[in-house]
Structure 1
């Protein structure tokens, strides 16, 4: 028995502990996703598809803004070898996030009288004022999470995901059961954003107290490509994912946005379980492999691991999705299975490409990443708007098709750039 455990431990610690790190993150994420999935049958009976439509709009707004709130200094935190540079990047991320939070509230205060009669703003009601707060805590969590990634504290990250699932779902269940109304979903989402912040902040504070030097000005200059290029890249990427929800909600009156939002939530389970965990570990290891000129080969290895992990679950989901979700979520969600089936090909390609997307930043190809995301924004948002003007009934087919095309192009361009960088030495 001891020999078997030793073999398992050796296997997990292979490749610099990659599998062990992934197993820790996947374990914590799996628990969080299990909690979320077990709560969904109750939540879908407490809240209607229309309630989830409003939640989808709120999440879309927060997601689009939070991805740029730290000027992308957060994603650069794991990259430098020097600890003082890592600290400076963390401080720059936190400072940018705080300034953005203040500016966002001032901007909302100024424009609210002009937008308060819009359909979407009316639906959100006074909960629109919690959008800047959601952006702030989301940006704060991102910066602290990347600091934990830099120090390979994957166990801490896994624990925060469990905390988020328990607090977020528990709050939505309690408020839905006692009071009802879509605001329980928004309150639960805010707690989901903020879960685990104290734990990550405590660890980061101890680290920072040991680092005496933090050259902010020099670090800002050295990593200026992140705010110059990566900010717009991330904005284009997140907007291409989230803006369609707002566009569709503006054109369509009914539960369709709720179905789309729930389909994305269900399909995000394998993405969060496998893709996000692999991406976290991949980013922590990629700079070292790039320095050894082995990043291309390492990336192909990761791709094979992802394919082996997701192929069977996707086949099973495709077979059961038209039948199972009405039973699980209730009769009012009977169209959900169809939405999931349509979105599965794009989700499959997203799982293949997203975990390795940070490779373009590691090899210094921020401009390429920016143009790639701009391409995605054009075909997934601007063309969707034109499609909605032509025929609103085509929104789901076009949304799924454009996402699939984007992730196919994204994947092969990343591989091409890595191969070229490897050949150039």
Structure 2
């Protein structure tokens, strides 16, 4: 398997087209909604996505790291069971705390968290099966459905954007169910004792990989929550929109290359072919470097010239915030793919330590903003540069895992 063969090309093209539709959707949101409305959507979307990400206990990442199809199927069923159980637990915890009330937003969060976690499981199942066409097609269908729903909803508030995403996730879930069933997924479950043993056998994932994911989840979803608390919903909108554009290289190519790379080196790992893993790692680094050089200047130019086509009077300040977030975006482009080395080589303690380092740096940035009353622009600069430095140190540590292999 290569990063750019015919099969993987479907994955890249599908993800790319999905992001084209997402950009169109973003322009529509800018035209119709205010930064405050987008900030309200980002807040509740972040809560549901965080719960959905935690609910699997990261067992979905074990699915592509399987020796055969039967093990893949068993791990998928385990992930779904764990997800349903912990989504229920997190929902009860949320209702018993000030996190959210029992209202329409609770329903949105519940539906979003469940579909996010189970869809992630099915995506990893298809990744092991090398069904790159489906893994490219499904996000494209999701983005198209989301845009169509937004076009038919008339209200102008954050709930409209949130409801559109929830409905789209439910439809995507149904599409995934049909897809994995046709590709050999066995929906019948075994005895609970079997999954208990399987849970214990792969306990490293909730023990190390789940805590390791805290920083990534924080970076991806908690920023809107914390920025909304320290600053205001308008800055949440500016921050979220900037990242939506700047994270396109990570989503379109970086995440696809990372997924293929993880499945690929896992199979090479079982074959003890470390030289091939080194070769593929160097190719990955080259791809990400070229993305950095060419994509980010183009994206900044896109943001700069958007006002010539769309009224951006409500979004004043978007260009400088986007420029400040470039180091942040580059850090995420490199960190996640290279962290696969620790995952595949079962060096989960290193993965945990590096994610804790990112978490500490992020918390310190917010703590400094809170204590010293730092203005929003300066806070973004501090957060962005700090994570850039830490992420590349982490990538160096991950590569050292590969160098010491015999």
Contact 2:246/2:322 (<8 A) preserved = yes
Q: 1:73 to 1:210 in 2, by over 3 A?
A: closer
Contact 2:91/2:110 (<8 A) preserved = yes
> Offset of 1:369 from its aligned partner?
0.7
- Tell me what 1:143 maps to: 121
Q: 1:264 to 1:284 in 2, by over 3 A?
A: same
Contact 1:325/1:337 (<8 A) preserved = no
Find the aligned partners of 1:261 and 1:366 in 2 and give their Cα distance. 30
- Tell me what 1:358 maps to: 340
- Tell me what 1:7 maps to: none
TM-score normalised by length of structure 2:
0.90
Find the aligned partners of 1:322 and 1:40 in 2 and give their Cα distance. 12
- Tell me what 1:132 maps to: 110
Contact 2:51/2:87 (<8 A) preserved = no
- Tell me what 2:45 maps to: 59
Query: What are the Cα deviations for residues 170-223 of structure 1, in whole angstroms up to 9, with x where unaligned?
Result: 222321xx2222111101222343443223212433523499989534432321
Find the aligned partners of 1:211 and 1:57 in 2 and give their Cα distance. 36
Q: Does 1:105 align with 2:91?
A: yes
Contact 1:40/1:329 (<8 A) preserved = no
Q: 1:115 to 1:154 in 2, by over 3 A?
A: closer
Contact 1:388/1:395 (<8 A) preserved = no
Q: 1:351 to 1:64 in 2, by over 3 A?
A: same
In structure 2, the residue corresponding to 1:81 is in which secondary structure?
coil
- Tell me what 2:35 maps to: 49
Gaps spanning 5+ residues in structure 1: where? 1-14
Find the aligned partners of 1:402 and 1:193 in 2 and give their Cα distance. 34
Find the aligned partners of 2:4 and 2:198 in 1 and give their Cα distance. 29
TM-score normalised by length of structure 1:
0.86
Contact 1:60/1:245 (<8 A) preserved = yes
Query: What are the Cα deviations for residues 85-129 of structure 1, in whole angstroms up to 9, with x where unaligned?
Result: 212211110001111122223223322xx456xxxx8xx974244
- Tell me what 2:185 maps to: 208
Query: Which residue of 22, 41, 61 maps to 1:36?
Result: 22
> Offset of 1:301 from its aligned partner?
1.6
- Tell me what 1:386 maps to: 368
> Offset of 1:18 from its aligned partner?
4.5
- Tell me what 1:78 maps to: 64
- Tell me what 1:245 maps to: 224
In structure 1, the residue corresponding to 2:46 is in which secondary structure?
helix
Find the aligned partners of 2:305 and 2:214 in 1 and give their Cα distance. 35
Contact 2:261/2:280 (<8 A) preserved = no
> Offset of 1:368 from its aligned partner?
0.9
> Offset of 1:249 from its aligned partner?
0.5
Find the aligned partners of 1:254 and 1:222 in 2 and give their Cα distance. 44
- Tell me what 1:400 maps to: 384
Find the aligned partners of 2:36 and 2:188 in 1 and give their Cα distance. 50
> Offset of 1:139 from its aligned partner?
0.1
Query: What are the Cα deviations for residues 4-38 of structure 1, in whole angstroms up to 9, with x where unaligned?
Result: xxxxxxxxxxx557532332111111111111212
Gaps spanning 5+ residues in structure 2: where? none
Contact 1:296/1:415 (<8 A) preserved = no
After superposing the two structures, state which structure 1 stretch, 282-291 or 372-381, moved more.
282-291
- Tell me what 2:274 maps to: 293
- Tell me what 2:244 maps to: 265
Structure 1 segments (4+ residues) deviating >6 Å: 210-214
Q: 1:23 to 1:100 in 2, by over 3 A?
A: same
Find the aligned partners of 2:175 and 2:219 in 1 and give their Cα distance. 32
Find the aligned partners of 1:203 and 1:227 in 2 and give their Cα distance. 27
Query: What are the Cα deviations for residues 281-317 of structure 1, in whole angstroms up to 9, with x where unaligned?
Result: 1122111222312322321122112222442122333
RMSD over aligned Cα, in angstroms?
A: 2.4
- Tell me what 2:284 maps to: 302
Contact 1:101/1:133 (<8 A) preserved = no
Q: 1:334 to 1:201 in 2, by over 3 A?
A: same
> Offset of 1:410 from its aligned partner?
2.2
> Offset of 1:245 from its aligned partner?
2.1
- Tell me what 1:280 maps to: 259
Q: 1:303 to 1:224 in 2, by over 3 A?
A: same
